[in-house]
A and B are shown apart, each in its own frame.
Chain A
Amino acid sequence: MALTLQPNIPDQDGFYQELLAVHDGLDKAESDALNARLILILCNHIGDREVIAAALRAAK
């Protein structure tokens, strides 16, 4: 499976609000740690090393 870089999330504004709401009340270090945990969780969900590698390249 190839990395999807086309829009893929329904209700994108609701998703974005939910993503930021999880950071409410956190300081920068706590937010950074949360982001790291989130990335690891999502990478594990994807599982496919080629897709993850492509995502890493797209983000760089």
Chain B
Amino acid sequence: MTQSRYRLAFELYPYRKVAAQDAPVPERHPIVVVGAGPIGIATALDLAQRGQPVLVLDDHEGIGEGSRAICFSQRCLEIADRLGCGAAMVEKGVVWSVGKVFHGDDRVFEFNLQPEAGHKNPAFINLQQPYFEKFLIDQVRAEQDRGLEIEIRGRNRVTALEDRGDCIALSVDTPDGPYSLHADWLIACDGARSPLREMMGLGFEGRVFEDNFLIADVKMTADFPTERWFWFEPPFKDAGQSALLHKQPDDIWRIDFQLGWDIDREKELDEANIRARVDAMLGPEAQYELEWTSIYTFQCRRMERFRHGRVMFAGDAAHQVSPFGARGANSGMQDAENLAWKLDLVIRGLAPEHLLDTYSEERVFGADENILNSTRATDFITPKTEISTLFRNAVLTLAHMHAFARPLVNSGRLSVPCVYDGLSLTGEDRLAGAPARTRPGAPCVDAPLRDGFLLDALGSGFTLLALNTDAPQTFSEAGLDVAQLALGADDDPTGALSARYLGQAGAAVYLIRPDQHVVARWPAFDETATRAALRRATGQE
């Protein structure tokens, strides 16, 4: 029987018996996604929008409670936007860009994440994870209404899998008993404790951090500004080694306290004890309700590779990071967008199967960058030795007075998408004088156009972006159609497009992937070079 592991915030896909459960021969699906969390649903949506039928299995009937991931990055919002639910997130979310870092009572450091204008989406929003998941599921329902084949089966728990070479055979448990399914491709988005990873006996190596963090989400009307406030050695009683205060929608504030390793969980989760800590932080007159509390520990680790034959792992199932830097859900969304177009091309026969290995190559690279950044932040926030504590405190002390020490203060380096520098699919950079931020391998940077924004105009296939020059209206190579987007000075009312894509160059042609990463760029259209770059970007050379 399927046991519930957590309580639900929203019941959105209640169990319903389907004909497949009584089928004499197991039903066969091109793509099965296991796990209806944000990464599973985003992957399923992306694939369905590309025309692939997708079945999603989840062992619950909806979205788990608790705010959990609350910080969503610009790239995550851009991906959600392409999938159709970015606007709902931004509308509900709390937009913020300023962070302040305190050491005891003193403010030592302040940062602004987006001094730059000209992006459709903000640098970051805060939003409780259940809302994020609900907007994705709402989008699934909208796609179903449009006739796309995307199905979610609640309380369908995978209990065994077998690689049969030409498919994956799944055993699925339900309230009406078990049944079997066959999947051409299986995508495991079943979370950090991934049962599929366990069933396949695959490793998940990395570092365990010996620390407990208490989350208290409190509901109150307060006039703290919408900023991220972080304290090293907080001045309020029993706050532990560090504390964080950050606003969410619905008048809810996330408070994190670092409690150390040897704690009595039951006692620390007792409401009176949590209230004593929160009172000490907010002042005795603060009126608030405790919305959600939890104690968490974390690890920084990843699978050796994210593709195992017909099974691909994405999100927390493939990699796990500390929460400092908001690199968990945000990087999982980048997994989803990386995998979806590649699997679509492979299923259509437009790219060789080993294109899927570049999903692993690129996202392992991304995971390593995220693990490195979040490990460094964790080591700074929670020094493990006497000497590292000494240096950490020296940095904080110097940062009060001297600018040079402030960049060393690390309370989390916030999620930015990684650049696939020098990886298999990344092509040539022939554009002299062009900005580094849009080099081959980088995700396209948004820019305002005369009407709307660049990323909206790029669509979700391969695109030739021609700036102040010509490129063919239609172009295809080995069955792949490439769209053209030609823009000139008239389309660039603010000059941001030119600043971000041309720099010192007068004109440019960019080849852009379906996930909006740059493949290659040239000063003018070059047919031979474009064909070669396109073959490279699809694993054909």
Contacts and interface: CB of A to CB of B under 8 A. Distances in A.
Interface string A10-26: 00110011011001001
Contact of A12 (B373, B401, B402, B407): B407
B391 interface: yes
B282 interface: no
Interface stretch (B378-386, B435-443, B492-500, B511-519): B378-386
A13 B395 CA distance: 12
State the main secondary structure of chain A at its contact with B. Answer: helix
B159 interface: no
Contact of B387 (A5, A7, A31): A31
A31 B391 CA distance: 11
B408 interface: yes
A13 to B, nearest CB: 5
Contact of A13 (B376, B385, B406): B376
A5 B408 CA distance: 13
Most buried by B among A8, A12, A28: A12
A56 interface: no
A16 B410 CA distance: 10
A14 to B, nearest CB: 8
Most buried by B among A6, A8, A13, A26: A13
Contact of B404 (A7, A13, A19, A20): A7
Contacts of A6: 403-404
A17 B384 CA distance: 13
Interface string B358-383: 00000000000000010010011000
Given A13-B410, A16-B410, A17-B379, A8 B404 contact: yes
B388 interface: yes
B413 interface: yes
A28 B391 CA distance: 13
B264 to A, nearest CB: 30
A45 to B, nearest CB: 17
A28 B386 contact: yes
Contacts, number: 43
Contacts of A5: 402-404
A5 B404 CA distance: 5
Nearest to A6: B403
A23 B373 contact: no
A58 interface: yes
A5 B405 CA distance: 8
State the main secondary structure of chain B at its contact with A. Answer: helix
A23 B387 contact: yes
Nearest to A59: B398
A19 B391 CA distance: 9
B404 A28 contact: no
Contacts of A7: 403-404, 406-407
A48 B200 CA distance: 62
B288 to A, nearest CB: 35
B403 A16 contact: no
Contacts of B410: 13, 16
Contacts of B376: 13, 16-17
A20 B379 contact: yes
Given A13-B373, A13-B376, A28-B386, A20 B391 contact: yes
A28 B387 contact: yes
A23 B386 CA distance: 10
Nearest to A5: B402
Contacts of B391: 16, 19-20
A24 B401 CA distance: 29
Contacts of B401: 58
B408 A16 contact: yes
A12 B404 CA distance: 10
A47 B515 CA distance: 52
A13 B407 CA distance: 8
Contact of A16 (B380, B387, B398): B380
Interface string A23-46: 100101001000000000000000
A23 to B, nearest CB: 5
Most buried by B among A8, A20, A31, A58: A20
B209 to A, nearest CB: 15
A23 B403 contact: no
A16 B383 CA distance: 12
A20 B404 CA distance: 18
A9 B407 CA distance: 9
A58 B397 CA distance: 11
Contacts of A8: 404
B386 A13 contact: no
Given A7-B407, A31-B386, 11 more contacts: A4-B404, A5-B404, A7-B404, A7-B406, A13-B373, A16-B395, A16-B408, A20-B379, A23-B387, A26-B387, A31-B387
